[in-house]
Amino acid sequence: MVLRAPAGTSSRVQLTNGKGIAIVKSNDGTAYGRVAHGRITVVDPVRGKATAVSLSNCAERRHPAPRTTVCIGDNIGFSVQYGVWTVTLRGRGINASAVARGVLRLRGVRGRFSIDGGPSRRWPRVMRSYALG
């Protein structure tokens, strides 16, 4: 999949083999990836462009609130693009890429991440926020 860059300034994020929680909140952008075991939550608030959301391999799919979808299972995948959205990846074997303007929040016990092609770093053990774009 080719990542669509949002208009204006954005950041490229790469998450590799993570175990923990990653939250990407985007004002415009694209993201895709997989979780080996866990859950993916996508929130698509009503504002701005319509967001295109795709979830795959969900053993269980829930809608706990309007415009919120939770996908639970093994080897689950996602893609989101356009509009305003928040994706939460929770579990192990988290691999994802994004081009977005917004915020990355990250906490884990394993995994590597990079922003804008910078050095690959370990996931922080305590929740940290990183500005995107």
The DSSP letter of residue 67 is: T
| Digit-coded pLDDT (tens) for 93-115 | 999 999 999 999 999 999 999 99
Q: Taking every pair of C-alpha atoms in the chain, what is the biggest distance, in angstroms? A: 38
Domain residue spans of the chain: 17-103
User: pTM surpassing 0.75?
Assistant: yes
CATH number for the segment(s) 17-103: 2.60.120
Distance CA 86, CA 78 (A): 12
11-43 and 85-115 strand pairing: antiparallel
Neighbours of 103 (CB within 10 A): 16
